[in-house]
């Protein structure tokens, strides 16, 4: 999970350069090699291409003077395809890039290049959006939403590596939404359902607290400075809750697992998956597990207790 080689795609724009401080921060900590990468749309060498190469060399020289081993590379063709091809063929450990956060009217939260990169590689991608300009590049406080599943826990090794030998603090967040109560229109089937729902919701909160307590203890044994929060939120308030917690806790980075074309794990975030990535202003580290992950012991325990509770009450 080491960040030995970091790829930073640049286009000459001010926005793309916003990725440099974050790449530099990680590279200094992990003694990583940084590769500054640019893609030209034409195979013909002209004055613009020479300027592009010079532009990369100037930035590389600046990083090298700060003790960061930095090289440059260029390619020709489709920008996203070339980024993916280079990253996959050169054992890149992390792609760091900036992107615009478009409105819902755009029907996608990122520019088309970012979208294709996320879909085209299993390499972790650290995204800075155009509105992530005042967040610390040091990542002093990291938010990791979890749901007890091994899928959501797959980000832990990456977080451990990012926080090793630092004073960075990790916050594990579990959001408890209420169980669905069967109803006819706006009225419950009977008056006991509301109480049953509240009892089940309270049980979920207890199970989540127990799960997080064990998870925090395990991470602390690995040297991670970590704490946790369990928050009860109404259905559909996941995005608002994560955003609010990010503000309250002065979060610098959100770390979440993805599953390729399915987007951010719906098990963790439900139907609001895309909105979390779209609306949160902080940088986001997207981790895509490369293999199928079996349920963790903690998830099996949660499932068993939960099913037992439901069976005893219905």
CA–CA gap between residue 187 and residue 181 (Å, rounded)? 10
Q: Please, which residues have CB within 8 angstroms of residue 117's CB and are 6 or more apart in sequence?
A: 80, 83, 84, 95, 97, 125
Domain 1-133 classification at class level: alpha beta
Question: For the whole prediction, is pTM greater than 0.85?
Answer: no
- Judge whether 1-133 and 138-314 match in fold: yes
pLDDT band at 133 (very low <50, low <70, confident <90, very high): low
pLDDT of residue 224: 95
**Alpha-carbon torsion (207, 213, 218, 219), positive or negative:** positive
* Whether pLDDT at 261 is above 80: no
In the chain, where the domains are located: 1-133, 138-314
pLDDT at 186: 58
Residue tagged 């081993």 (tokens): 69
DSSP-assigned letters across all residues of 8-24: EE--SSHHHHTTHHHHH
Calpha distance 160→148 (Å, rounded): 18
Query: Considering the domain 138-314 in this protein, what is its CATH number?
Result: 3.40.50.620
Q: What is the pLDDT of residues 232-245, one digit of tens each?
A: 888 778 888 998 99
């Amino acid at each position: 999970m080491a960040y030995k080689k970091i790829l930073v795609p640049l286009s000459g724009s001010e926005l793309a350069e916003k990725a440099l401080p974050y790449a530099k921060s990680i590279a200094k900590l992990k003694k990583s090699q940084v590769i500054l990468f640019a893609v030209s749309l034409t195979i013909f060498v002209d004055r613009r291409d020479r300027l592009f190469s010079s532009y990369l060399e100037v930035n590389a020289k600046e990083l090298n003077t700060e003790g960061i081993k930095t090289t440059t590379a260029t390619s020709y063709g489709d920008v996203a395809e070339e980024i993916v091809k280079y990253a996959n063929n050169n054992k890149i450990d992390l792609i760091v890039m900036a992107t615009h956060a478009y409105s819902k009217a755009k029907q996608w939260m990122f520019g088309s290049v970012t979208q294709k990169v996320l879909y085209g590689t299993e390499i972790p991608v650290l995204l800075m959006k155009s509105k992530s300009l005042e967040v610390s590049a040091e990542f002093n406080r990291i938010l990791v939403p979890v749901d007890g599943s091994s899928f959501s826990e797959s980000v832990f090794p990456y977080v451990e590596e990012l926080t090793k030998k630092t004073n960075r603090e990790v916050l594990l967040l579990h959001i408890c939404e209420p169980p669905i109560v069967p109803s006819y229109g706006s009225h419950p089937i009977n008056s006991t359902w509301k109480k049953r729902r509240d009892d089940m919701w309270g049980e979920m909160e207890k199970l989540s607290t127990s799960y997080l307590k064990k998870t925090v203890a395990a991470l602390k044994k690995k040297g991670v400075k970590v704490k946790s929060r369990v928050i009860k939120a109404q259905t559909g308030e996941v995005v608002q809750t994560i955003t609010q917690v990010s503000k309250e806790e002065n979060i610098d980075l959100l770390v979440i697992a993805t599953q390729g074309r399915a987007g951010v794990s719906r098990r963790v975030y439900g139907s609001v998956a895309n909105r979390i990535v779209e609306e949160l202003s902080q940088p986001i580290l997207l981790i895509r597990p490369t293999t199928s992950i079996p349920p963790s012991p903690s998830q099996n325990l949660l499932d068993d207790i939960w099913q037992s509770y439901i069976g005893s009450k219905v």
